[in-house]
A and B are shown apart, each in its own frame.
Chain A
Amino acid sequence: MDVQRKLAILADAAKYDASCASSGTEQRDSRDGRGLGSTAPGMGICHSYAPDGRCISLLKVLLTNACAYDCLYCVNRASSNVPRARFTVDEVVQLTLDFYRRNYIEGLFLSSGIIRSADYTMEQIVHVAQTLREQHHFRGYIHLKTIPEADDALIAKAGRYADRLSINIEVPEETSLAALAPEKNVRAIRRTMGRLRLKLDEATEAKVEARKAPSRAKPPRFAPAGQSTQMIVGADAATDQTILNTSANLYGSYNLKRVYYSAFSPIPDSSRALPLAAPPLIREHRLYQADWLMRFYGFDAQEIIDPAAGMLSLEMDPKLAWALRNRERFPLDVNRASREDLLRVPGFGRKAVDRIIDTRRHSAIRAADLAKLHIPRNKALPFIVLPDHRPPPHLLDGAQLVERFRPKAQQLGFGF
């Protein structure tokens, strides 16, 4: 089988994993002329976008889509009839370098079906990264999927070469994992996340120590872009509240950089135990917004969702829905309110809040300024007070306010 045919199979097999980012790592470049590639701290680069709206930043492939496990939600499960392929280590290495030189990608995201054993699989994955780094002095981004329960030494090695390690939690509740992925064990997944966290903490401590005593040897490197995970949404009956609670727990326990949410989408040769329906894309989008509220806006997992519903509203973003449930906290005086409060106003992003705080020291913010601050007027005005604007009292109390934000019924078109 030629490499192109294998690529078609092994990229297809990898496309259900939502993680794509190449962000958050250390700064590296190849100006010493000995290698290839660079990374920037902060955001990575999305080199292309697929018609599914998702960014293509990394060469995302499986080493092999043969798998001993039989997870029902997975296209690569042992009982699936998809064609199988397997890359050699050198093939993945060459493909990564070739794509990188043409500026198609930021690096590699390598995962694999479980073959033979956790250790054997992990060893193969690590081998690719090691070859890229040591033989080719590749300085681009590498994200490796960690195989649960792989040997500690292999995990340490993976962290030496990779920018990011991830291990997918798969579904928010242990009970559904038992039904959907009998060979997978949430305990093993969590234990591996815990081990990664300890190693990440050690590396951070070593870095702090090294800064204090710069003469000593460089501390060992361990996945500078941290760890992430993915949860499949809509394959089981878990509510959004359950999902957010699980995320909050994962963020707190394992210091994850990101939890990715992946709307379960029908797979070829799908199992009858799973919903055969279009993927819940809006739900997925709302979960990302809610996740954002937890990570950057100071929201607690418990307050984002209407406790009576247990689910995020599909009609409006979670912050707006929260504001409508907590109207007694509004209207807010934009020229006086604290940063924390401003962050809770619908339509106020973090950058807008920064600009507001800068600006109001020198000049009062008025209704006409909202556009310059890139704040959507319609969304924000009912909740704020400005020198030349105050929402009519009956508006915040009335029932029409919700109506005003309901989207007009429309077909979800492709907008092409």
Chain B
Amino acid sequence: MHRIRLDSDTDFDGWRKAARELVLADVAPADVTWTVAGDEPELFDAAEFAPSAPTPAAPDRESPTSPFPTFNVPARFVELAQTAILHRDPQRFAYLYQLLWRLRANPELMQVATDPDVARLQTMAKAVRRDEHKMHAFVRFREIGREPKSRYVAWFEPEHHIVAAAAPFFARRFADMEWSILTPDACAHWDGHKIAITPGVAKAMAPSEDRLEETWLTYYASIFNPARLKTKAMRAEMPKKYWRNLPEAALIRPLIEHAERKAHAMVAAEATAPKKPQRQELPMIRTEHTGDTLEALRDEARDCRACDLWKDATQTVFGEGPQRARVMLVGEQPGDKEDLAGHPFVGPAGQMLDRALAEAGIDRAETYVTNAVKHFKFVPRGKIRLHQKPSTSEIKACRPWYERELATIKPLLVVAMGATAAQSVLGKITPINKNRGHLIDRDDGPPVLVTVHPSYLLRLPDADARQREYARFVDDIKLVATHLKKAHAA
């Protein structure tokens, strides 16, 4: 029988060193007992605890050239062992050794969550991590003295041997305070520079009050909603074993006792008559239009509900540009970016349009840019929104806005980009390819040029096609420039 005596309850290095030697010496788990210094029952004398076999026949490990054989364990095991060793179960060293022993033959064992040894240690590690997390949460410092010379001291009763492991959290968080956390097992102290761990003390060593505690209790009582008592949920997260060191826990019972009564009273209380709700008529599109200004139009369109698209979209994206613009560019509908920003053609398609306009010798600032449909139509798919084509009825519902924009601006020329735009501008489904490349004269308005929508260019998969189509798009736009020149000359 090998008896291994570790320096302390959290002596991971000691355990690791001993365990490695034992594995290499082929000592079966059943032949090892583990103890911690100071924990041995007194009736045994020290002699009995001497290792019953000499340390494995190993060459001197201190020598740097030592050929001491070693074996690798998965990083996952080391992580698990470092945590599980903090568990209070006296068998933890043995459980860990047992798993280590088996890992030598089966290095993939760590991935088998259903293995009983793995599962047991995972459960222990989980308990340790939870206790550590609860210590981070439930330590309550009490102030001794007053700023700037105050010190903060807390009393905590951890379930496992976690004080040293939990202390760095407090050092990072309260770096500019001098603090101590006292526990029955060990105490952690911070002086502004380093953490010191000292032996455990009695609760009486810790301060029993703080000038702010009453204020904290006031907060705790006020933030609680008596109409929604859910004490099971509370206890699952804040188990009773922690209550005795949480000042606010003293309030739990009285708060619960009063809650039902209070909630009852609230429900039974006479309700106050509501003020008359201000009925708002749903604004619709006015169809008679005389002497609109763009600003007035834009304001009115903000609340348009002529079709259902306003519901899911962020806002109406109305046209933009000078009221005296000579060209009106009509796109299909705003996209994701436009919907968020509230401006037409600000996304990637807008940049494409800017480039083509510049190349054709047209200043975008001189044009009026709008869309056939003023709200973004989409379906949400997780974190993105998939663009949807507007239906004919939506195009029709939105057309009055286009008509009023047209009547207000009176441009020399309209450019309809994409099928939706062409349908709205020309009042009927109009295939692009057959109709592009020339101006379509209209009896009741300025001539219309149809072309593709710039986002069509963005969607083309191969670079050659993209270049070709872009050039064609620029050629179309150049017709606009030519027409404007002619109109100017006339």
Interface residues of A (CB under 8 A from B): 3-4, 7-9, 11-12, 14-16, 29-38, 45-56, 59-60, 70, 72, 79, 81, 95, 98-99, 101-104, 174, 178-179, 182, 187, 190-191, 193-195, 197-198, 248-249, 251-253, 255, 263, 265-274, 276-279, 281, 301, 355-356, 358-359, 361-363, 365-366, 369, 372-373, 414-416
| Smallest Cβ-Cβ distance to B246: which chain A residue | A48
Contact B234 A49 (CB under 8 A): yes
B238's nearest neighbour on chain A, judged by CB, is: A49
B393 interfacial by beta-carbon distance below 8 Å? no
A268 to chain B, nearest CB (A): 6
CA distance A191 to B380 in the complex (A): 17
Report how far A98 CA is from B143 CA in the complex, Å: 10
Partner of B272, one of A32, A53, A60, A272: A272
Question: Which of A36, A193, A373 interacts with B174 by CB under 8 Å?
Answer: A36
Given contacts A50-B223, A269-B272, A276-B267, contact A103 B113 (CB under 8 A): no
Q: How far is the CB of A165 from chain B (nearest CB, A)?
A: 15
Greatest chain A CB density within 10 A among B114, B277, B340 is at B114
Give B445 Cβ to nearest chain A Cβ, in Å.
Answer: 32
Interface pair A194/B342, CB less than 8 Å apart: yes
Chain B nearest Cβ from A283, distance in angstroms: 12
**A281 B228 Cβ-Cβ under 8 A:** yes
Closest chain A residue, CB of each to CB of B280: A178
* B residues less than 8 Å from A249 (CB atoms): 312, 380
Residues of A contacting B212 in the complex (Cβ-Cβ under 8 angstroms): 98-99, 102
Q: Can you give 23 contacting A-B residue pairs, CB < 8 Å?
A: A7-B222, A31-B172, A31-B175, A35-B175, A35-B176, A36-B173, A37-B173, A46-B237, A48-B138, A49-B234, A50-B225, A52-B226, A53-B237, A56-B220, A72-B274, A187-B302, A190-B314, A191-B314, A253-B385, A265-B228, A278-B267, A363-B114, A414-B256
A252–B232 touching, CB < 8 Å: no
Whether B188 is near chain A, meaning CB under 8 Å from some CB there, is no
Task: Give the chain A neighbours of B89 by CB distance below 8 A.
Answer: none
13 further A-B pairs in the complex, CB-CB below 8 A; given A7-B215, A38-B173, A273-B277 = A4-B214, A8-B218, A29-B172, A56-B220, A99-B216, A102-B210, A182-B278, A251-B383, A272-B274, A359-B111, A359-B112, A414-B229, A414-B256
A284 closest partner in B (C-beta): B228
B192 within 8 A of A: yes
Output the nearest chain B residue to A366 by Cβ-Cβ distance: B114
Hey, which chain B residues are within 8 Å of A53, CB to CB? 228-234, 237
Chain B residues within an 8 Å CB radius of A46:
137, 237
Contact B255 A51 (CB under 8 A): yes
Instruction: Please give, as numbers and ranges, the residues of chain A lying within 8 Å of B210 by CB-CB distance.
Output: 102
Contact A193 B382 (CB under 8 A): no
Determine whether B456 belongs to the interface, using a CB cutoff of 8 Å to chain A. Answer: no
The reply to whether B266 and A267 contact each other, CB–CB distance below 8 Å, is yes
Residue among B111, B223, B259 with max Cβ neighbours from chain A (10 Å): B223
Asked whether, in the complex, the Cβ of A52 is within 8 Å of the Cβ of B108, the reply is no
B275 interface residue per 8 A CB criterion: yes
What CA separation (Å) do A99 and B218 show in the bound complex?
12
Q: How far is the CA of A9 from the CA of B108 in the complex (A)?
A: 58
Asked if B68 CB lies within 8 Å of chain A CBs, one says no
Q: B133: nearest residue on chain A (CB-CB)?
A: A45
- Chain A residues contacting B271 (CB-CB under 8 Å) are 270-272, 274, 276
With a cutoff of 8 Å between Cβ atoms, the chain A residues found around residue B339 in the complex are 194, 253
* Shortest Cβ distance from residue A327 to the other chain B in the assembled complex, whole angstroms: 26
A305 CA / B260 CA spacing, docked (Å): 33
Residues of A within 8 A of B152 (CB): 101-102
Q: Is B177 an interface residue (CB 8 A)?
A: yes
Given A252-B380, A415-B232, answer yes or no on A56-B223 (Cβ-Cβ < 8 Å).
yes
Q: How far is the CB of A384 from chain B (nearest CB, A)?
A: 15
Known: A59-B219, A187-B303. A30 touches B230 (CB 8 A): no
Q: Closest Cβ of chain B: how far from A284's Cβ, in Å?
A: 9
Whether A11 contacts B223 by the Cβ 8 Å rule is yes
Per a CB cutoff under 8 Å, which of A30, A101, A191, A416 touches B231?
A416
Distance from B147 Cβ to chain A, minimum over Cβ atoms (Å): 9
| Chain B residues near A255 (CB-CB < 8 A) | 383
Complex Cα distance A45/B173, Å? 12
Contact residues in A for B133 (Cβ distance below 8 Å): 45
Within 8 A of A (CB), among B356-406: 378, 380-385
Pairs of residues from A and B, 6 with the lowest C-beta to C-beta distance, nearest first = A53-B233, A252-B380, A53-B230, A355-B113, A11-B222, A369-B114
**Which residues on the A side are within 8 Å of B113 (C-beta)?**
355-356, 358-359, 372-373
**Residues 124-146 of B at the A interface (beta carbon under 8 Å):** 133, 136-143
Distance to closest chain B CB from A337 (angstroms): 17
Chain A residues near B140: list those with CB within 8 A: 102-104
- Once the chains are docked, how many angstroms separate the CA of A4 from the CA of B222? 11
Q: Which residues of A contact B223 (CB under 8 A)?
A: 11-12, 14-15, 50, 56, 60
Q: Of B115, B173, B246, B259, which contacts A51 at CB under 8 A?
A: B259
B340 adjacent to A15 (CB under 8 Å): no
- Interface pair A55/B177, CB less than 8 Å apart: no
| CB-CB nearest in chain A for B251 | A51
In chain B, positions 239-275 with a C-beta closer than 8 Å to chain A are 246, 248, 252, 255-256, 259-260, 263, 266-267, 269, 271-275
Residue B227 CB within 8 A of the other chain: yes
Per the bound structure, the CA–CA distance linking A8 and B224 in Å amounts to: 11
Identify A414's interface contact among B175, B216, B231, B273, CB under 8 A: B231
- Smallest beta-carbon distance A174→chain B, Å: 7
Q: Is the CB of B225 within 8 A of A15?
A: yes
Contacts of B234 in A (CB 8 A): 49-53
User: Which residues of B266-305 are within 8 A (CB) of A?
Assistant: 266-267, 269, 271-275, 277-278, 280, 302-303
Shortest CB-to-CB span from B235 to chain A, Å, is 8
Pairwise interchain contact A31-B222, C-beta atoms closer than 8 A: no
Chain A residues near B192: list those with CB within 8 A: 33
Q: Is the CB of B341 within 8 A of A30?
A: no
Cβ–Cβ < 8 Å partners of B385 in chain A:
252-253
Contact digits for B101-114, partner A, Cβ 8 Å, 1 yes 0 no: 00000001101111
Give chain A residues whose Cβ lies under 8 Å from the Cβ of B111.
Answer: 358-359, 361-362
Q: How far is the CA of A177 from the CA of B102 in the complex (A)?
A: 64
Residue pair B230, A31 in contact (C-beta under 8 Å) = no
- In the complex, the chain A residue whose C-beta lies closest to that of B170 is A103
The smallest C-beta distance from A152 to any residue of chain B, in angstroms, reads 11
- CB contacts under 8 Å to A, within B309-363, are 311-312, 314-315, 337, 339-342
B176 touches A363 (CB 8 A): no
B100 close to chain A: CB less than 8 A: no
Interface residue B154 (Cβ < 8 Å from any Cβ of A)? yes
Chain B residues within an 8 Å CB radius of A273? 274, 277
* Residue contact B173 to A30, C-beta cutoff 8 Å: yes
Q: Closest A residue to B172 by CB, please name it.
A: A29
B272 x A101 contact (CB < 8 A): no
Closest B residue to A264 by beta carbon equals B227
Shortest Cβ distance from B130 into chain A, in angstroms? 12
Q: Which of A3, A271, A362 contacts B215, CB < 8 Å? A: A3
Q: Does any Cβ of A come within 8 Å of B171's Cβ?
A: yes
CA distance in complex: A39, B136 (Å)? 12
A51-B252 Cα distance, complex, nearest whole Å: 6
Taken together as a complex, chains A and B put the C-alpha atoms of A398 and B113 apart, in Å, by 34
Q: Does the CB pair A279–B227 fall under 8 Å? A: yes
C-alpha gap A112/B61 in the complex (Å): 67
Q: Considering the chains assembled together, what is the distance between the CA atoms of A252 and B133 in angstroms?
A: 33
Q: Give every chain B residue within 8 A of A4 (Cβ-Cβ).
A: 214-215, 218
Q: Please tell me if B460 contacts chain A, counting CB pairs below 8 Å.
A: no
Q: Is B119 an interface residue (CB 8 A)?
A: yes
Closest to A190 in B: B314
Q: Name, among A32, A59, A195, A265, the residue most crowded by chain B CB atoms within 10 Å (CB to CB).
A: A265
